[in-house]
Structure 1
Amino acid sequence: MVGEWFDRNTHHWDDWSLDRLLEAKAGRVVSLVVPARNEAATVGDVVSRVRDALVDTVALLDEIVVIDSDSTDETYVVASDAGAVVHRAAEIRPDLGTVPGKGEAMWKSQFVTKGEVVVFMDADLLDWDTHFVPGLLGPLLTRPEVLLVKGFYERPMGSGESAVPLEGGRVTELVARPLIRLLFPELAGLHQPLAGEWAVRRSLFETLRVPTGYAVELAALVDTVRAHGLHALAQVDLGTRAHRHQSLRDLGGMATQILAAALARAGVPTAGEVDSERPPAVSVP
């Protein structure tokens, strides 16, 4: 089954022309959401390049929204000056409280965006191009059975002349892939289950429980397949992506969150504290 899914649901970013995507969009609203924490050095480039190519030149996106997750640098100002609508996660629905984390920022984005389709991109991109966005939208705009699309790419360590090819994605290779093989083998055909570049129909995302930390991507995949089947997923080759790499200490915390969310979904009890999860947004008044 995995092999059949891989053949039908693995795409390349240039499988769709911009003209075809604009026709398929057919009046639907599409949002780009960029969760960011202390990314003043890179978030402006992400926002300005996407806005120029896909809002001002070609109207594939209707809004670019940056969710500032408790930044202590100039992320908010830089993103706003670049042309994004910026919200501080803690100030979105304050009646619901706030916790730190990437998943929290993505969950909160549902209350300040209007897109029927939502594209997520990380704010720390270094070597990338704006084709990421139309590539992720391709399956969602042209195939009604697809509900969630994951990007994948070659991930060099570093950037420019110092880049080392075919390295990076340490948590993916050492934690996520082994977990998937052991607990969720139906997802084994996904190249990069933790990729921060993905797209989803709002009608799906608002029904999912969302871990407030780094486990949001893996949890979304597992819960989507359980509720809707493997045919609801697709993946797209986006080429090459580089970003700022975190320290091993930081990666240890990320790995712990991913392990906890995966084990919880497999029904395995854990002795340590598990990161909180937000309820489906559709259930929130």
Structure 2
Amino acid sequence: MQAATRDWLAASSHVHEDFTAEALVAALTKSGEQVSVVIPARNEADTVGEVVSVLRRELVEAVPLVAELVVIDSDSTDATAQVAADAGATVHRSADIAPHLGSHPGKGEALWKSLFVTSGDHLVFVDADLTAWGPHFVTGLVGALIADPATLLVKGWYDRVLDVEGRPPSTEGGRVTELVARPVLDLWWPELAGVVQPLAGEWAARRSLMETLVVPTGYGVEIASLIDTRTRHGLDAIAQVDLGSRAHRHQKDHDLAVMAAELLAVVRARCGGGVAPVDVAAEELHQFTREGGWRTRGVPLAQRPPAIEQSGYAGGER
């Protein structure tokens, strides 16, 4: 590992126990800043209610760290939106946000659209399918983000518990991370080799960063934000925080292949230091199974331009 990466690890790595909600509230009150938690969700009715209710109870009502607790419903066909609202979140349907800008399916789209309906200076993203986690995910991410004014983006890291029915639990989750994300970062951005979970769904960013980024509408949002922050602002703009362990609903390998293809497309576009065009047609991934034969699946490649450049964006004004 390069000396620069080792120095960065020493300077910018945190553990969630370093921060308490009460101390963070005091610091944010002094600075006049606020935190918005954004939960992108698609067909997560089984888990989103618990995620929302725990955060509301612990970090909105018990300690007022979170000013906005928002769920962005990404074309769910189940009761995700109603469950989230009943648990205490403000719920927006992704397609209904800034409708004049159109709509795409995907996680990145939900995060990009969240910029138009939140006002916090600091944005914390939390996945809706968590099954083993805690509110310290948010306190750890906020703490690491405001610990240094130079920090613009924080990635959470944790042991990823793989809990599959019929198998004993293990910490071998994160298959796309280990087989795709980490190898490509090691090859083309070796200074990012110290980021333990580059695809972590739990991460935080300053609005001043997020509103200027080009955002892939699909699963490429996490690796794109990491690479683009490094390219534009340097390694010192990134930090990470140990959140302990995490478990969530796992996808089948054939479904993960679509995610892997999206990541590779994002990386390919950035290998030369550039960013892919915003308007790109979806590509296709061909898969074969003995049971189902050949099938073709779309790989979404569309990207959103910086939100700050869009009509109707209020820029977090309160």
TM (norm. structure 2) is 0.86
1:48 aligns with 2:53: yes
Instruction: Provide the C-alpha distance between the structure 2 equivalents of 1:271 and 1:159, rounded to a whole number of angstroms.
Output: 35
1:239-278 matches, cutoff 5 A: 239-267=244-272, 273=283, 275-278=301-304
Instruction: State the match for 2:288 in structure 1.
Output: none
* CA displacement, residues 207-254 of structure 1 (integer Å, 9 cap, x when unaligned): 000000000000001100111110000000000100000011110000
Give the conservation status (yes or no) of the 8 Å contact 1:69–1:88: yes
Shift, 1:159, TM fit: 7.4
Give the conservation status (yes or no) of the 8 Å contact 2:281–2:302: no
Q: SS of the counterpart of 1:239?
A: strand
1:130 aligns with 2:156: no
Shift, 1:48, TM fit: 0.3
Q: Between Structure 1 and Structure 2, which shows a larger proportion of strand residues?
A: 2
Q: SS of the counterpart of 1:241?
A: strand
Q: SS of the counterpart of 1:145?
A: coil
Instruction: State the match for 2:33 in structure 1.
Output: 28
* CA displacement, residues 82-122 of structure 1 (integer Å, 9 cap, x when unaligned): 00000000000110000100000000000000100000000
Aligned residues: 285
Alignment partner for residue 238 of structure 2, among 202, 222, 233? 233
Instruction: State the match for 1:181 in structure 2.
Output: 186
Alignment partner for residue 150 of structure 2, among 145, 148, 151? 145
1:162-181 matches, cutoff 5 A: 163-181=168-186
TM (norm. structure 1) is 0.96
Percent identical across equivalent pairs?
A: 56
Instruction: State the match for 2:107 in structure 1.
Output: 102
Q: Between Structure 1 and Structure 2, which shows a larger proportion of helix residues?
A: 1
Structure 1, gaps ≥5 residues long: none
Alignment partner for residue 81 of structure 1, among 86, 95, 102? 86
Instruction: Provide the C-alpha distance between the structure 2 equivalents of 1:21 and 1:174, rounded to a whole number of angstroms.
Output: 36
* CA displacement, residues 175-232 of structure 1 (integer Å, 9 cap, x when unaligned): 0000001111111110000000000000000000000000000000110011111000
Distance 1:185 1:85, change over 3 A: same
* CA displacement, residues 253-278 of structure 1 (integer Å, 9 cap, x when unaligned): 00000000011001399998360000
Shift, 1:164, TM fit: 2.1
Structure 2, gaps ≥5 residues long: 284-299, 312-318
1:8 aligns with 2:11: yes
What code does the residue aligned with 2:134 have? D
